[in-house]
């Protein structure tokens, strides 16, 4: 080993789901199967590319304002970034600087562990119970900060707001981040608690309900004090995080509430139908409140089924990691895509 190797920051990176370039039924990375709002398409067509000569607005002004209006908060309560991954990473860097371990579930978004390792933040995973539920009492001990998604991923299980509030209330001395990537398909958001708890940050994304994973837009909403700390870290890292196209398209997407709500309704409808269809062919599904379903079949090996599906052009996500070796995560596609999935599954299982 060369001497300089000692001084290199080594990380085991997060592994994103595959993005196959050929045409497949893509149910593997929780994207939205429907296009973004037509207002986004219009704005992009009209975009003045001469603006590309210039750096974008570092404050992301119009996008921040649109989000503030949508969520009935002040502009200084909103922080935007390049997908919620960027926002969450900034939150780790900014808020998790204790020597005590941060806490998050053992089965959850696998990026948390990667950021903790990258930034050298001590962490301790808290075991989900036998039904894959978060045990709130596990978060009542001394810690350096808390993060969990609600609904959790990849389980898709949503915990009621009272449950979330109990965790926030029990931890006034640390920052609690609620990662709400999938909240639009679920229930009440922790945004309702923003004014009540000064240690709360809520993070959401345009990648799921707003159909814009490719534009990379995420945001945090909190009180002005914590948002200022986040911005200070951001401006010390990269002032121009959001590109001009993302700023314009994101702003238009937020303004189209009707399209947003209609898209959510369609996904939920397909999800409930798909849960029922899966159950009818013997799958055991965790109760999903997201745009995906975490499922296992007692009679079929998940890895074999996953590989067979892939060979047939149907991509879902499979990890094979401890406790979830027999589970796969299926993103909700269009009704037609889901019909294709069921045609395949029924054939595979010899269902008449
Ligand atoms: N949080 C959770 C729980 C997720 O599943 C994802 C999607 N991979 C993200 C955050 C990040 O999404 P994005 O960066 O596209 O906003």
Q: What residues are paired with 145 via a beta bridge?
A: 102
Q: Is residue 5, in this structure, part of any structural domain at all?
A: no
Shortest CA distance to 32 belongs to which of 102, 190, 74, 40?
40
Which of ligand 1's atoms lies nearest the C-alpha of 207? 15
Residue in 181, 201, 319 to alter for ligand 1 test, most ligand atoms within 8 A of Cβ: 181
Helical (H) or strand (E) element with 179:
strand 176-179
CATH classification of the domain holding 20: 3.90.1150.10
**Do 342 and 200 fall within a single domain?**
no
Q: Which of 331, 314, 352 is nearest to 274 (CA)?
A: 331
pLDDT averaged per 10 residues, the chain (length 352): 92 92 94 98 96 96 98 98 98 98 98 97 98 98 98 98 98 98 98 98 98 98 98 97 97 98 98 97 97 98 97 96 96 98 95 67
CB of 83 within 6 A of ligand 1: the answer is yes
* Measured distance CA(124)–CA(200) in Å, rounded: 20
User: CA 109, CA 177: separation in Å to the nearest integer?
Assistant: 13
**181 Cα: distance to centroid of ligand 1 (angstroms):** 6
105/239 same-domain check: yes
Please give the structure tokens belonging to residue 268.
């939920």
Cα distance between the two ends of the chain:
60
- Which CATH number do you get for residue 212? 3.40.640.10
Q: Report how far ligand 1's centroid is from the alpha carbon of 3 (Å).
A: 37
Does the Cβ of 85 fall within 6 Å of ligand 1? yes
Q: Which residues touch 44 (CB under 8 Å, ≥6 apart)?
A: 245, 248, 249
CA 91 to chain centre: 14
Query: Does residue 333 lie within any of the structural domains?
Result: yes
81: Cβ below 6 Å to ligand 1?
no
Instruction: Give the structural domain span for 230.
Output: 38-255
Given a contact cutoff of 8 angstroms between Cβ atoms, the answer to whether 146 and 174 are in contact is yes
151 lines ligand 1 (CB under 6 A): no
Tell me how far apart the alpha carbons of residues 253 and 273 are, in angstroms, rounded to a whole number: 27
Count the domains in the chain. Answer: 2
Least Cα distance to 181 among 210, 142, 161, 159 occurs for 210
Token couple for 343:
């045609």
**Domain boundary at 255, 273, 293, which?**
255
pLDDT for the residue numbered 1: 82
Residue 80 phi/psi, 5° resolution?
Answer: -120, 155
Q: Which residues contact 340 (CB under 8 A, 6 or more apart)?
A: 25, 314
Give the predicted TM-score (pTM) of the model: 0.97
**Per-residue tokens: 41:** 């398409």
With a 6 Å cutoff on the Cβ, whether 109 touches ligand 1 is: yes
Nearest to 338 by CA among 27, 19, 18, 32: 27
2 within a domain of the structure (yes/no): no
Q: Tell me the C-alpha distance between 102 and 147, whole Å.
A: 8
The best mutation among 16, 111, 151 to test binding of ligand 1, ranked by most ligand atoms within 8 Å of the C-beta, falls on 111
Please tell me the distance between residue 232's alpha carbon and the centre of ligand 1 in angstroms. Answer: 23
Distance (angstroms) between ligand 1 centre and the Cα of 227 equals 20
Residue 233 and residue 182 share a domain: yes
Q: Verify whether ligand 1 is closer than 6 Å to residue 180 (CB atom).
A: no
Do 247 and 310 sit in the same domain of this protein?
no
């Amino acid at each position: 080993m060369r001497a300089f190797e000692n001084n290199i920051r080594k990380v085991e990176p997060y592994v994103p789901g595959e993005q196959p370039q050929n045409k497949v039924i893509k149910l593997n990375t929780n994207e939205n199967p429907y296009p973004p709002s037509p207002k986004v398409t219009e704005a992009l067509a009209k975009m003045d590319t001469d603006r590309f000569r210039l750096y974008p607005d570092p404050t992301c002004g119009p996008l921040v304002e649109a989000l503030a209006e949508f969520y009935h908060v002040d502009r200084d309560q909103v922080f935007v970034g390049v997908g919620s991954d960027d926002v969450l990473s900034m939150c780790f860097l900014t808020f998790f600087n204790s020597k005590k371990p941060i806490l998050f579930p053992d089965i959850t978004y696998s990026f948390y562990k990667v950021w903790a390792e990258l930034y050298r933040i001590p962490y301790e995973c808290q075991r989900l119970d036998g039904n894959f539920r978060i045990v709130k009492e596990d978060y009542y001990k001394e810690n350096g900060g808390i993060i969990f998604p609600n609904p959790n991923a990849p389980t898709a299980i949503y915990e009621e707001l009272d449950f979330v509030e109990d965790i926030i209330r029990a931890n006034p001395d640390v920052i609690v981040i609620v990662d709400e990537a999938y909240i639009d398909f679920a229930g009440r958001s922790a945004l309702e608690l923003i004014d009540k708890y000064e240690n709360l940050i809520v993070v959401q994304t345009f990648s799921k309900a707003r159909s814009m994973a490719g534009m990379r837009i995420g945001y945090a909403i909190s009180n002005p004090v914590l948002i200022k700390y986040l911005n200070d870290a951001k401006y010390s890292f990269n002032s121009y995080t959001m590109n001009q196209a993302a700023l314009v398209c994101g702003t238009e997407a937020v303004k189209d509430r009707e399209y947003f709500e209609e898209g959510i309704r369609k996904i939920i409808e397909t999800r409930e139908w798909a849960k029922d269809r899966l159950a009818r062919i013997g799958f055991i599904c965790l109760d999903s409140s997201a745009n995906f379903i975490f499922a296992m079949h007692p009679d079929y090996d998940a890895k074999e089924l996953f590989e067979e599906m892939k060979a047939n052009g149907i991509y879902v996500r499979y990890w094979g990691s401890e406790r979830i070796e027999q589970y796969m995560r299926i993103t909700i596609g269009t009704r037609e895509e889901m019909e294709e999935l069921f045609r395949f599954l029924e054939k595979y299982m010899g269902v008449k």
